Each structure stands twice: as C-alpha cells, then as structure tokens.
Structure 1
Amino acid sequence: MVTKKRKYIRLGLGIFWLVVFSWLFYNLQARNLESSVMESNNKVLVQNLPNAILFTPVVDTMGSALIFYPGALVDPTAYTPMAKTIAEIGFKTIIIKLPYRLALFESQEDEVFQKTLEYINSDSLNRNWVLGGHSRGGKIATIFTLNHSNAINGLLLVGTSHPRELNLSDLTIDVTKIYGSNDGLASEEEVNQFAVNLPADVHLVKITGGNHQQFANYGYQLGGGTADITRQKQQEIMIDAIIKQLERVQAN
C-alpha cells in the first residue's frame, strides 16, 4: 500500500514538473517577430546553423563583433531583432544556441565555450570580440571571461545580477552592464550589490521602466517585472549601448 502510494506521489510530481516545464518552454518561445528577421537582405547575410545564428554584414569591415548567449530556456530567435539591427549597422553578430536552451551542466558549458572559441579563432578579419549574455547567458559569459579573458576585448551583461560568486574586478577589457529598473529577476539592488565584482570603470546602463523579458522578444517570464516602457524603446536603448561598446572596443 505504501509502495503504491509513493508511486502515485512520484507520478504526480513528474506530471506537475512536466506541466511547469512545458508552460515555461511555451512562454519563452519567440513572439512578435517580423517574418523577414531570419531572412538575408542587401545589408545582412543570415545563417541559421545547428549551433548558432549568424548575422554577417554584406560589407563586413568593422573591427569588432558580438557573440551573444541567450537566457535560460529562451528561444534564441527571440534575440534576432537585436542581432540583425546591430549587423545592419555593420557589426557581425552571432547568437549561440545553448544546449537544451540551458547549458545546465559543466560539460555543456564547455561545449558552448569551445564553439565560442572556434568562431573567434576562425575570424579572418582578426576582430576584437565582445561576449555578451542575457540573464543566465550573462552568467555563462562571466565564466567564459574568467577562463578566457585573453580571447575577448569586451564583456556585455544584460538583465543579470551576475557575476555573483566570481570576482572579475581585475579585468582590463571593456565591461558594459545593462539592466532595467523593473527587471524583477535581476533587481537594481542586486546589480548594485554585486557591482563590486566588476571593474571600477564598468559602463552601467540603467533603463528606467525596463523589465527582464523585454530585452528580447518572448512571452511572460515567471518572476519578471512589469515594464513601464515599450519593448521597442527598451531594445533601442539596449542596442545603442551595445553599439557604443562595440565602437569603443574597435577603437582600442
């Protein structure tokens, strides 16, 4: 009797977590994307590969470029409006697809890092690279930076309280951190609390009224705050800050 009861409890818990995961996965799918965002045009070549989405300017001459890690479980195509806009300005942008949209285990993080290094090392223009990430993607970017800081020239952190446990205060590369006042998951208090783990000259960009999920194009996120500005406005401010970082890195 007890054994059967435990079986039912396990089954019930399994169904519960399956429903929760499915609900999260559904809400973190890309939303409100223009049909042309994944299509090449006269300014940008778009390549949707198994491990990444590449946005390469047709006139590809800029001296810096961006590699970006998505947030946990977020559909990587949710970041394509940002990536394509940056590429249309002239900066190559690569969105890495995290294993199972999460890269939860160290072996999966290593897989992401290996792919990142492959893109950097195979760059025929020998560009200066900025590595960025949103939410958990930002955490993964800080881990890469701790171990491979000589491979990149800039670190970009978007909508994340990381680095929390890692001390990156001695970094000599350009660091930019973008956060929303209404984030909900990475609060302004946490951003300020863990700023001690970043260099003193970090570029902090506060988006007043911005929340967690409007840094990309996807649905409701559990724990995310309510925005007081539009998604378009929030992403315009974010993209402007990223362009400025890419220009600084290029100039150096």
Structure 2
Amino acid sequence: MTQDPTAPRRTGRRIGRAALAALLVVVLIAVVFLAWAHTVMAGDRDAALEVWTDDAIEVTETSDSFVLRPTAGGSDHGLVFIPGARVQPFAYARNLAGVVEDAGVTVVVTKPTLNLAFFDTRSLAAFAAAAPEVDSWTVGGHSLGGVRACQLAAGDDSVEVTGLVLLGSYCANDLSASALSVLSVSGTNDGLTTPEDVESNAGLLPQDTEYVVLDGGNHADFGDYGAQPGDGESTLPRDAVRAEITAALVGLLG
C-alpha cells in the first residue's frame, strides 16, 4: 500500500487547530474571569463621604490599601482588615470608623489582588508598613477576607499579631491553640456565612473567642455596598449595625 505523503501534514494541521482551539478557550475563560473579578460591589457614596469628612479621622491611600487614622489620641495598636470577595474596600470604612474614633485604633483596609483575598499573597508586614507608627496588630476580615485573615494571623515573625476579627466569616485553618484574642461577629439572617457555618467551624478558634450575634443581621450588613446575591434579608437599621460592630471592636481593641 502506498503511504499518502500529505497525511503527516494533515495530521499536523489538525493538531495545530486543536491546540489553537484549546488556547482560545483558555484565553476566553481568563477574560471572563478577569471581567468577573473586576466587577465589584461598589461602596455607598454617602457612607464613604461620612468618613472622608469626619474631623476625627485622617484618611490616606496607598497602592495597597487605604488607612484610617485618628487625628488625635491615637493608640499603638492597629487593625489590618481584608474585604470580602469583589467588594470595594472603602465599603467597610463607615463600619470600621467607629473604632478609630472611640479607641484611637489605626485601621488599614487592604486592596486584595483581583479583588479576591485568596489571590493576594502579600504578607501582613506589607500592609502594616502603611502605618509604621503602630506597634502591634490585629488582623481581620469579612467573608472570604476573614478566611484569609485567619491565614495571616497564623504567624508573621516580622509583625506582632495579638488578635483576630471575623465579620460574617470563619477560619479554615486551625488557630485553636493560639494565644490570639478573637472576635467573631455574625448575623442570624446571613445567607452566605450562615449561623451553621460559624458554629461548625468554631472548633478552629480558641475556646475564649468572643461571639457577637447580630439578631436580624445579614452578610451585606458588614459593609455599605447594597444587597448581595444569595444573602438573607436584614431587619436591622444601618446605624444599629454600625453601633454593634463598633462596640464589639472597641471591646476587643480599646
């Protein structure tokens, strides 16, 4: 039988077309993912302006974060806070401003890589550098940001970490034997980090963890960014949420 001399070329073309098709699929997936990651839940403008115009707070911004500092009577303690997935960082400013005003704590809110904390490989020290005047730190976060905060709280030899704050979140790594002071604030109507989620992961936290439950609170109550798909309905006024979060944070950090 005579071998077709064009067969190898045809086979090569088929392989080339298949490889090109696979590459195009990968590129399409990447483009769709990047578009999704950069479609953030925007913070409420009025809530942000309330913080920007507050005489008790100085707001500065870096490429990695924005910082809320007390204009007077600052303490030597700070909070590095990691936003939830695809939530604009400044959406948390109003709920975090209370601990700046009432306890003099400096708050650094991070800007996660691709707006997703799991893709952010920067160390806690990288964010603490935004406030070199602070001596010791608590790390915290909302939702996926809280999961990442647990990882950072596990240890950074260059930064003194004394506490952990979880807002509508829980740990995926075991911190039960740590000496951290831990605060967990959750909502009874949270449809994304449910009360069952918080309870089932409680064993990963120290036994003396303080639990604060917002009766009627949902997942989106922890920031000012509007409704979130899959969430429950909140029955709490915004000011009541802010007051409860402030009281809990001052109790831990004040």
Q: TM-score range by the shorter chain?
A: 0.7 to 0.9
What CA distance in whole angstroms lies between the structure 2 residues aligned with 1:35 and 1:195? 33
Match of 1:196 among 203, 209, 230: 203
Which residue of structure 1 lines up, in the alignment, with residue 13 of structure 2? none
1:55-107 residue CA offsets vs partner (Å, 9 max, x unmatched): 111114324222211101100010111232322222221111111211333xx
Cα deviations by residue, 1:127-150 (Å, 9 ceiling, x for unpaired): x32211000110110001113387
Return the offset for 1:14. Answer: 5.5
Which of 84, 93, 97 is equivalent to 1:80?
93
Is 96-105 or 35-44 further displaced after alignment? 35-44
Query: 2:165 aligns to what?
Result: 156
Separation of aligned partners in 2, 1:173 and 1:118 = 21
Name the CA distance, whole Å, in 2 between partners of 1:38 and 1:245. 22
- TM-score, structure 1 length as denominator? 0.81
Task: Give TM-score scaled by structure 2 length.
Answer: 0.80
Indicate how the Cα distance of structure 1 residues 233 and 182 shifts in structure 2: closer, same or farther if over 3 A, else same. same
Residue 29 of structure 1 aligns to a residue in which SS?
A: coil
Q: Which residue of 1 aligns with 2:57?
A: 44
Cα 1:193–1:19 change in 2 (3 A) is same
The corresponding residue for 1:102 is 116
- Distance 1:18-1:201 versus aligned 2 partners, 3 A rule: closer
Q: Deviations over 1:183-221 (max 9, x none)?
A: 111111111111011111000111110000111000221
Are the aligned partners of 1:117 and 1:151 in contact in 2 as well (CA < 8 Å)? Answer: no
Aligned length: 233
Asked if the contact 2:64/2:110 (under 8 Å) is kept, the reply is yes
Equivalent residue in structure 2 for 1:235, among 216, 236, 242: 242
Query: Which entry has the higher C-alpha Rg, 1 or 2?
Result: 2
Structure 2 gap ranges (5+): 1-17
RMSD of Structure 2 on Structure 1 (CA)? 2.9
Give the superposition deviation at 1:48: 2.1
Residue type at the aligned position of 1:192 = E
- 209, 212, 215: which is aligned to 2:216? 209
**Amino acid in structure 2 at the alignment position of 1:129:** W
Aligned position for 1:187: 194
